[in-house]
Structure 1
Amino acid sequence: MNNGGSQQGASPARPAKAPGDWRGEMLGRLRALIVEADPDAVEEVKWRKPSNPAGVPVWEHAGMICTGETYKDKVKLTFAKGASLDDPAGLFNSSLDGNTRRAIDFREGEAIDEAALKALVRAAVALNLSKAGK
């Protein structure tokens, strides 16, 4: 599948390159939690461009689950269909106004609610599977 300028270039065995600081560590931990939540999730790298040659890691299973992006002051995990997911733990703290996406911004030193994050990943996969083939 080609999404206009997207490129495959990473797999779970060779993930997208992350910054060598706390952001890289955070992205690595998020990557591990996504795979723990859904071992069938596939990671690809998409949207490579001159300003971001490493691209954006994207996790998919029967459709997009989420993307992981690093910024100067945060790591953003954006759930493609987050507006349709229950978030009882209140993890979503960004992109709250849209009708489709929801995101979680992680800042340096913040703890990850691992159980709640894995529940969101599983819910996103369940939503994708429920819509597959329709």
Structure 2
Amino acid sequence: MIEKVGGWRGERLAEIRKLIHEVDPEVVEEWKWMGTPVWSHQGMYALANAHKDKVKLTFFHGAKLADAGKLFNAGLDGGKWRAIDFREGDKIDKPALKALLREAVAYNAAHSVPKSRGSRG
């Protein structure tokens, strides 16, 4: 579905997807909420949306992440989510984004709740 977006926004989404798969080979990618790519590993950790003038990469637990590269530039007042808005011509700081993605995966791993297998009686 990313291919259908086209233009610079489609290119940016494809680049983000590639980085996510490089960082997290076990990622589960699903399409939810009318065509939104969502990436999960022991829970959802990121989603992306193509808007008219930007591509937004949102981290579900962004407020809990250190963001050493200072990439977050949207949703900074929220208690949970944080986002990065990419506009046409913006370059992705790949090392910083990869570090942030690794941090999100690690956060989920540290905070995931094992699913109950039920009783075997």
Q: Tell me how far apart the structure 2 counterparts of residues 42 and 65 of structure 1 sit (CA, whole Å).
A: 10
Higher helix fraction: Structure 1 or Structure 2?
Answer: 2
In 2, distance between residues paired with 1:108 and 1:17? 17
Amino acid in the other structure paired with 2:26? D
| Offset from partner CA, 1:67-116 (integer Å, 9 cap, x none) | 01000000000000000000111100000000000000001111100011
Runs of 4+ in 1 over 2 A off after TM superposition: 15-18
Which of the residues 3, 16, 28 maps onto 2:14?
Answer: 28
CA RMSD of aligned residues (A): 1.2
| Aligned positions, number | 114
**1:98–1:133 Cα change, 3 Å:** same
On the 8 A contact 1:65/1:81 being kept in 2, the answer is yes
* Identical columns (%): 54
Match of 1:78 among 51, 58, 62: 58
Counterpart residue number, 1:58: 38
Structure 2 unaligned regions, length at least 5: 115-121
1:110 is aligned to 90
Instruction: List alignment gaps of at least 5 residues for structure 1.
Output: 1-14, 49-54
TM-score calculated relative to the size of structure 1: 0.81
Q: Which amino acid aligns with 2:25?
A: P
Amino acid at match of 1:27: L
Aligned to 1:39, what secondary structure does the other structure show?
Answer: coil
